[in-house]
Amino acid sequence: MKRADIAIDDLLPHRGRMMLINEIIEMEEDRAVTASVVTDRWPLFDGKGVSPIVLIELIAQTAGISNGLERIRKHGKDSEKKGWLVGIKKSRFFVDAIPLHTRIITRAENRFKYDGFREILGTARIGKDIVCETSLQVVQPDMEESA
């Protein structure tokens, strides 16, 4: 299966206003880089921009891109797209708000994997500036056990 055959919807369960990713820039099984543009439909939009707290979800979705690629390779395109953000070990934000129409580049990398547990290190950038660094804990069910 070629990467061009895989759409964002194949990798993530998010739809509507909860789908924050617009473009996949890079994806491997252990890391992904995505691009997103802040819209008035995003969660935590206040009329001018969004709270940087939404970057945690954006980094989690970017991790879901790489983890979804691994799932598709092992279990097929139509396999279950479940995964849960279960912990935020650490987050640092370097902006107070993110204006409407801002383009954000997000990178997420699996730093640790054991069974269905993953620890993810992620960053979000606006231009050359890092606006968020975070370490997340994610759980994905074992496809064989959940079938």
What confidence tier does 7 reach under pLDDT thresholds 50, 70, 90? Answer: confident
What confidence tier does 146 reach under pLDDT thresholds 50, 70, 90? Answer: very low
* DSSP character string of the chain: --GGG--HHHH----GGG----EEEEE-SSEEEEEEE--TTSTTB-SSEE-TTHHHHHHHHHHHHHHHHHHHHHH-TTS----EEEEEEEEEE--S-EETT-EEEEEEEEEEEETTEEEEEEEEEETTEEEEEEEEEEE---HHHH-
What percent of the chain shows pLDDT beyond 90? 64
Q: Which CATH number fits domain 3-146: 3.90.1310.10, 3.10.620.30, 3.40.50.620, 3.10.129.10?
A: 3.10.129.10
- Find which of 7-11, 12-16, 58-62 is predicted with most confidence, using mean pLDDT: 58-62
Distance CA 54, CA 50 (A): 7
Distance CA 118, CA 97 (A): 29
Interval 38-45 mean pLDDT: 96
Instruction: Indicate whether 34 pLDDT > 80.
Output: yes
Q: Tokens 């979800």: give the residue.
A: 57
pLDDT tens digits for range 123-137: 999 999 999 999 999
DSSP code for 18: G
Asked if residue 43 lies in contact with residue 57, where contact means CB atoms within 8 angstroms, the answer is yes
Structural domain boundaries in the chain: 3-146
Of residues 69 and 143, which shows the higher confidence score?
A: 69
What confidence tier does 70 reach under pLDDT thresholds 50, 70, 90? Answer: confident
Distance CA 135, CA 60 (A): 10
Mean pLDDT across the chain:
90
What confidence tier does 39 reach under pLDDT thresholds 50, 70, 90? Answer: very high
Which backbone phi and psi does 84 adopt, to 5 degrees?
-130, 130
